[in-house]
Protein backbone atom coordinates (compact mmCIF):
# COMPACT_ATOMS: atom_id res chain seq x y z
CA UNK A 1 0.00 0.00 0.00
CA UNK A 2 1.33 3.44 -0.90
CA UNK A 3 0.06 6.97 -0.85
CA UNK A 4 0.23 8.66 -4.28
CA UNK A 5 3.23 10.91 -4.71
CA UNK A 6 2.59 14.61 -5.30
CA UNK A 7 2.24 15.95 -8.85
CA UNK A 8 5.59 17.73 -8.60
CA UNK A 9 7.26 14.51 -7.39
CA UNK A 10 5.67 12.64 -10.30
CA UNK A 11 7.18 15.00 -12.89
CA UNK A 12 10.50 15.01 -11.04
CA UNK A 13 10.96 11.22 -10.89
CA UNK A 14 10.08 10.86 -14.60
CA UNK A 15 12.71 13.43 -15.54
CA UNK A 16 15.20 11.79 -13.18
CA UNK A 17 14.72 8.57 -15.15
CA UNK A 18 15.89 10.42 -18.26
CA UNK A 19 12.50 11.08 -19.86
CA UNK A 20 11.55 14.09 -21.96
CA UNK A 21 8.49 15.38 -20.07
CA UNK A 22 5.98 17.89 -21.49
CA UNK A 23 3.57 19.50 -19.02
CA UNK A 24 0.20 20.18 -20.67
CA UNK A 25 -1.99 22.95 -19.30
CA UNK A 26 -3.29 22.60 -15.74
CA UNK A 27 -2.36 18.90 -15.57
CA UNK A 28 -1.42 19.05 -11.87
CA UNK A 29 -5.02 19.88 -10.91
CA UNK A 30 -6.86 18.10 -13.73
CA UNK A 31 -8.46 14.94 -12.32
CA UNK A 32 -11.66 13.07 -11.45
CA UNK A 33 -11.16 13.23 -7.69
CA UNK A 34 -14.71 14.54 -7.26
CA UNK A 35 -16.03 11.16 -8.45
CA UNK A 36 -14.10 8.96 -6.03
CA UNK A 37 -10.88 8.46 -4.08
CA UNK A 38 -7.35 8.51 -5.50
CA UNK A 39 -5.14 6.04 -3.69
CA UNK A 40 -3.76 4.04 -2.13
CA UNK A 41 -1.79 3.22 -5.26
CA UNK A 42 -0.51 -0.25 -6.04
CA UNK A 43 0.82 -0.29 -9.57
CA UNK A 44 1.25 1.08 -13.09
CA UNK A 45 -1.12 0.31 -15.97
CA UNK A 46 -0.17 0.54 -19.66
CA UNK A 47 -2.67 1.20 -22.48
CA UNK A 48 -2.74 1.90 -26.20
CA UNK A 49 -4.85 4.76 -27.54
CA UNK A 50 -6.27 3.53 -30.89
CA UNK A 51 -5.42 6.97 -32.29
CA UNK A 52 -3.04 8.41 -34.85
CA UNK A 53 -1.17 11.69 -34.45
CA UNK A 54 0.50 12.97 -31.32
CA UNK A 55 -1.38 16.27 -31.00
CA UNK A 56 -4.78 14.63 -31.44
CA UNK A 57 -3.85 11.83 -29.05
CA UNK A 58 -2.72 14.20 -26.31
CA UNK A 59 -5.84 16.32 -26.74
CA UNK A 60 -8.21 13.33 -26.48
CA UNK A 61 -6.43 11.94 -23.43
CA UNK A 62 -6.56 15.32 -21.73
CA UNK A 63 -10.19 16.17 -22.50
CA UNK A 64 -11.82 12.73 -22.92
CA UNK A 65 -14.89 12.35 -25.07
CA UNK A 66 -18.65 12.02 -24.84
CA UNK A 67 -19.48 9.61 -22.03
CA UNK A 68 -15.92 9.46 -20.65
CA UNK A 69 -14.52 12.80 -19.42
CA UNK A 70 -10.80 13.36 -19.18
CA UNK A 71 -8.19 12.96 -18.06
CA UNK A 72 -7.96 9.45 -19.50
CA UNK A 73 -4.53 8.83 -17.95
CA UNK A 74 -1.72 10.61 -16.17
CA UNK A 75 0.79 10.57 -19.01
CA UNK A 76 0.57 10.13 -22.77
CA UNK A 77 3.63 8.48 -24.31
CA UNK A 78 3.84 9.50 -27.97
CA UNK A 79 5.77 7.71 -30.66
CA UNK A 80 8.76 10.03 -30.30
CA UNK A 81 9.23 8.91 -26.68
CA UNK A 82 7.95 12.09 -25.05
CA UNK A 83 5.75 11.81 -21.96
CA UNK A 84 2.94 14.39 -21.98
CA UNK A 85 1.47 14.95 -18.52
CA UNK A 86 -2.28 15.58 -18.97
CA UNK A 87 -3.71 14.96 -15.50
CA UNK A 88 -2.89 13.97 -11.96
CA UNK A 89 -5.08 12.25 -9.43
CA UNK A 90 -7.98 9.98 -10.24
CA UNK A 91 -8.16 9.44 -14.02
CA UNK A 92 -10.57 7.52 -16.24
CA UNK A 93 -8.18 4.86 -17.53
CA UNK A 94 -8.46 1.54 -15.70
CA UNK A 95 -12.16 1.08 -14.98
CA UNK A 96 -13.46 -1.91 -13.05
CA UNK A 97 -11.25 -4.99 -12.94
CA UNK A 98 -10.41 -8.19 -11.16
CA UNK A 99 -9.76 -8.11 -7.40
CA UNK A 100 -7.57 -11.23 -7.67
CA UNK A 101 -5.35 -9.37 -10.14
CA UNK A 102 -5.12 -6.44 -7.72
CA UNK A 103 -4.06 -8.77 -4.90
CA UNK A 104 -1.37 -10.26 -7.13
CA UNK A 105 -0.10 -6.78 -8.00
CA UNK A 106 -0.01 -5.81 -4.32
CA UNK A 107 1.83 -9.05 -3.42
CA UNK A 108 3.97 -8.85 -6.58
CA UNK A 109 3.18 -12.43 -7.56
CA UNK A 110 2.20 -14.05 -10.87
CA UNK A 111 -1.02 -12.64 -12.33
CA UNK A 112 -4.15 -14.81 -12.43
CA UNK A 113 -6.56 -14.67 -15.35
CA UNK A 114 -8.82 -11.61 -15.23
CA UNK A 115 -12.43 -12.82 -15.16
CA UNK A 116 -14.46 -10.26 -13.24
CA UNK A 117 -15.07 -6.53 -12.91
CA UNK A 118 -15.55 -5.87 -9.23
CA UNK A 119 -12.74 -3.49 -8.25
CA UNK A 120 -12.14 0.20 -8.98
CA UNK A 121 -8.85 0.45 -10.85
CA UNK A 122 -8.92 4.21 -11.36
CA UNK A 123 -8.28 4.55 -7.64
CA UNK A 124 -5.25 2.28 -7.48
CA UNK A 125 -3.18 2.59 -10.69
CA UNK A 126 -1.02 5.19 -12.34
CA UNK A 127 -1.95 5.10 -16.02
CA UNK A 128 -0.04 5.72 -19.26
CA UNK A 129 -1.78 5.89 -22.62
CA UNK A 130 0.60 5.12 -25.48
CA UNK A 131 0.03 6.43 -29.00
CA UNK A 132 -0.73 3.41 -31.22
CA UNK A 133 -3.61 2.21 -33.41
CA UNK A 134 -3.68 -1.07 -31.50
CA UNK A 135 -4.25 -3.12 -34.67
CA UNK A 136 -1.14 -5.26 -34.29
CA UNK A 137 0.40 -3.63 -37.37
CA UNK A 138 1.10 -0.10 -36.19
CA UNK A 139 4.77 -0.14 -35.14
CA UNK A 140 6.10 0.64 -31.68
CA UNK A 141 9.26 2.74 -32.17
CA UNK A 142 12.24 1.90 -29.99
CA UNK A 143 12.12 5.36 -28.38
CA UNK A 144 8.50 4.83 -27.36
CA UNK A 145 9.07 1.37 -25.88
CA UNK A 146 12.04 2.67 -23.93
CA UNK A 147 9.97 5.57 -22.63
CA UNK A 148 7.27 3.14 -21.41
CA UNK A 149 9.98 1.12 -19.68
CA UNK A 150 11.52 4.18 -18.06
CA UNK A 151 8.20 5.68 -16.95
CA UNK A 152 7.09 2.43 -15.30
CA UNK A 153 10.50 1.91 -13.71
CA UNK A 154 10.55 5.46 -12.35
CA UNK A 155 7.30 4.91 -10.46
CA UNK A 156 8.34 1.48 -9.22
CA UNK A 157 11.68 2.88 -8.09
CA UNK A 158 9.96 5.66 -6.13
CA UNK A 159 7.56 3.32 -4.33
CA UNK A 160 9.98 0.44 -3.87
CA UNK A 161 7.99 -1.88 -6.15
CA UNK A 162 9.36 -4.46 -8.57
CA UNK A 163 8.33 -5.10 -12.18
CA UNK A 164 5.33 -7.24 -11.15
CA UNK A 165 3.60 -4.00 -10.18
CA UNK A 166 3.39 -3.10 -13.89
CA UNK A 167 0.42 -4.52 -15.82
CA UNK A 168 -1.44 -3.99 -19.07
CA UNK A 169 -5.10 -3.08 -19.35
CA UNK A 170 -5.69 -6.48 -20.93
CA UNK A 171 -4.50 -8.13 -17.70
CA UNK A 172 -6.92 -6.13 -15.56
CA UNK A 173 -10.28 -5.98 -17.31
CA UNK A 174 -11.89 -8.81 -19.29
CA UNK A 175 -12.38 -7.98 -22.95
CA UNK A 176 -9.54 -5.46 -23.17
CA UNK A 177 -6.66 -6.13 -25.56
CA UNK A 178 -4.31 -3.24 -24.85
CA UNK A 179 -1.47 -2.82 -25.21
CA UNK A 180 -1.27 -4.75 -28.47
CA UNK A 181 1.94 -5.10 -30.43
CA UNK A 182 4.28 -6.09 -27.59
CA UNK A 183 3.80 -8.39 -24.60
CA UNK A 184 3.55 -7.21 -21.03
CA UNK A 185 5.87 -10.06 -20.08
CA UNK A 186 8.60 -8.55 -22.26
CA UNK A 187 7.93 -5.07 -20.86
CA UNK A 188 8.08 -6.31 -17.26
CA UNK A 189 11.39 -7.97 -18.10
CA UNK A 190 12.73 -4.64 -19.38
CA UNK A 191 11.48 -2.82 -16.28
CA UNK A 192 13.06 -5.45 -14.04
CA UNK A 193 16.40 -5.10 -15.82
CA UNK A 194 16.26 -1.32 -15.41
CA UNK A 195 15.39 -1.56 -11.72
CA UNK A 196 18.41 -3.80 -11.24
CA UNK A 197 20.57 -0.74 -11.80
CA UNK A 198 21.22 1.36 -8.73
CA UNK A 199 21.13 4.59 -10.72
CA UNK A 200 18.92 5.65 -13.64
CA UNK A 201 20.38 5.33 -17.12
CA UNK A 202 21.51 8.43 -19.05
CA UNK A 203 18.72 10.50 -20.60
CA UNK A 204 17.21 9.53 -23.93
CA UNK A 205 18.36 11.68 -26.85
CA UNK A 206 16.01 14.65 -26.91
CA UNK A 207 13.75 14.97 -29.98
CA UNK A 208 14.47 18.00 -32.13
CA UNK A 209 12.44 20.92 -30.85
CA UNK A 210 10.76 23.33 -33.25
CA UNK A 211 12.37 26.76 -33.44
CA UNK A 212 9.92 29.63 -33.22
CA UNK A 213 10.93 33.26 -33.70
CA UNK A 214 9.95 35.92 -31.23
CA UNK A 215 8.28 37.87 -34.04
CA UNK A 216 6.19 34.81 -34.97
CA UNK A 217 5.01 34.39 -31.40
CA UNK A 218 4.07 38.03 -31.06
CA UNK A 219 2.32 38.00 -34.44
CA UNK A 220 0.33 34.93 -33.46
CA UNK A 221 -0.75 36.62 -30.26
CA UNK A 222 -1.76 39.79 -32.08
CA UNK A 223 -3.62 38.23 -35.00
CA UNK A 224 -5.47 35.28 -33.50
CA UNK A 225 -6.39 35.84 -29.86
CA UNK A 226 -9.22 33.29 -29.88
CA UNK A 227 -7.67 29.82 -29.75
CA UNK A 228 -9.40 28.30 -26.72
CA UNK A 229 -9.42 24.51 -26.78
CA UNK A 230 -6.57 24.26 -29.25
CA UNK A 231 -4.23 21.41 -28.30
CA UNK A 232 -0.56 22.09 -27.73
CA UNK A 233 1.19 20.80 -30.85
CA UNK A 234 4.82 20.69 -31.87
CA UNK A 235 4.89 22.22 -35.34
CA UNK A 236 3.35 25.19 -37.08
CA UNK A 237 1.64 28.27 -35.79
CA UNK A 238 -0.68 26.29 -33.49
CA UNK A 239 2.29 25.49 -31.28
CA UNK A 240 2.72 28.95 -29.93
CA UNK A 241 -0.91 30.00 -30.14
CA UNK A 242 -1.90 26.96 -28.09
CA UNK A 243 0.94 27.50 -25.63
CA UNK A 244 -0.17 31.09 -25.11
CA UNK A 245 -3.72 29.88 -24.49
CA UNK A 246 -2.39 27.39 -21.95
CA UNK A 247 -0.83 30.26 -20.03
CA UNK A 248 -4.03 32.32 -20.08
CA UNK A 249 -2.47 35.00 -22.29
CA UNK A 250 -4.88 35.13 -25.21
CA UNK A 251 -8.15 36.76 -24.26
CA UNK A 252 -10.85 37.84 -26.66
CA UNK A 253 -12.35 41.21 -25.74
CA UNK A 254 -14.75 43.46 -27.65
CA UNK A 255 -13.28 46.98 -27.73
CA UNK A 256 -14.96 49.80 -29.67
CA UNK A 257 -16.78 47.38 -31.92
CA UNK A 258 -13.82 45.15 -32.77
CA UNK A 259 -11.82 42.38 -31.13
CA UNK A 260 -8.60 43.39 -29.46
CA UNK A 261 -6.42 42.95 -26.41
CA UNK A 262 -7.61 43.38 -22.87
CA UNK A 263 -4.11 44.53 -21.98
CA UNK A 264 -4.51 44.77 -18.22
CA UNK A 265 -6.07 41.33 -17.92
CA UNK A 266 -3.52 39.62 -20.17
CA UNK A 267 -0.60 41.19 -18.33
CA UNK A 268 -1.96 40.39 -14.88
CA UNK A 269 -2.66 36.78 -15.84
CA UNK A 270 0.89 36.40 -17.13
CA UNK A 271 2.34 37.92 -13.97
CA UNK A 272 0.13 35.74 -11.78
CA UNK A 273 1.26 32.58 -13.58
CA UNK A 274 4.94 33.45 -13.21
CA UNK A 275 4.52 34.56 -9.60
CA UNK A 276 5.86 38.10 -9.71
CA UNK A 277 4.53 41.63 -9.63
CA UNK A 278 5.40 44.24 -12.24
CA UNK A 279 7.10 43.81 -15.60
CA UNK A 280 10.56 42.38 -16.01
CA UNK A 281 13.17 43.83 -18.40
CA UNK A 282 12.25 43.02 -21.98
CA UNK A 283 8.56 42.51 -21.22
CA UNK A 284 6.50 45.18 -23.02
CA UNK A 285 3.57 46.98 -21.46
CA UNK A 286 1.17 46.02 -24.27
CA UNK A 287 0.24 42.70 -22.67
CA UNK A 288 2.14 40.57 -25.19
CA UNK A 289 4.89 38.65 -23.39
CA UNK A 290 8.49 39.56 -24.12
CA UNK A 291 11.55 37.47 -24.87
CA UNK A 292 12.36 36.26 -21.35
CA UNK A 293 8.81 35.15 -20.64
CA UNK A 294 8.41 33.48 -24.02
CA UNK A 295 11.69 31.61 -23.55
CA UNK A 296 10.28 30.14 -20.34
CA UNK A 297 7.04 29.36 -22.16
CA UNK A 298 8.94 27.55 -24.92
CA UNK A 299 10.91 25.51 -22.40
CA UNK A 300 7.68 24.39 -20.78
CA UNK A 301 5.88 23.48 -24.00
CA UNK A 302 8.71 21.98 -26.02
CA UNK A 303 9.91 24.60 -28.51
CA UNK A 304 12.82 27.04 -28.69
CA UNK A 305 12.30 30.78 -29.00
CA UNK A 306 14.89 32.35 -31.30
CA UNK A 307 15.62 35.93 -32.34
pLDDT tens-digit map of 160-214: 999 999 999 999 999 999 999 999 999 999 999 999 965 556 676 666 666 766 6
Task: Please report the pLDDT score of residue 243 as a whole number.
Answer: 59
Q: What three-state secondary structure class fits 168?
A: strand
The model carries a pTM of: 0.69
Asked if residues 232 and 25 have their Cβ atoms less than 8 Å apart, the reply is yes
Task: Please report the pLDDT score of residue 190 as a whole number.
Answer: 96
Q: Of residues 233 and 62, which shows the higher confidence score?
A: 62
Give pLDDT tens digits for 50-68: 999 999 999 999 999 888 9
Asked if residues 218 and 287 have their Cβ atoms less than 8 Å apart, the reply is no
Asked if residues 237 and 220 have their Cβ atoms less than 8 Å apart, the reply is yes
Residue 6: pLDDT band with limits 50, 70, 90: very high
- Half-sphere exposure (Cβ direction) of 85: Cα atoms closer than 13 Å: 27
Q: How far apart are CA 224 and CA 263, in angstroms?
A: 15
Asked if residues 152 and 127 have their Cβ atoms less than 8 Å apart, the reply is no
Residue 98: pLDDT band with limits 50, 70, 90: very high
For residue 64, what are the β-bridge partners? 69
Amino acid sequence: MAAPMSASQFAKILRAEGLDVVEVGDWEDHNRNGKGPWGPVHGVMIHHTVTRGSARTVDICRKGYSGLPGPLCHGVITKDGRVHLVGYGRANHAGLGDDDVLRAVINETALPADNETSTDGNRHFYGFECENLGDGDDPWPAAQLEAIERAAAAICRHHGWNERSVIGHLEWQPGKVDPRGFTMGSMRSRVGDRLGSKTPAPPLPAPKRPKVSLSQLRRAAETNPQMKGTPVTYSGVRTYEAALVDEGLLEKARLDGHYGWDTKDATSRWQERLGYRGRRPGEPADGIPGRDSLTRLGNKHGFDVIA
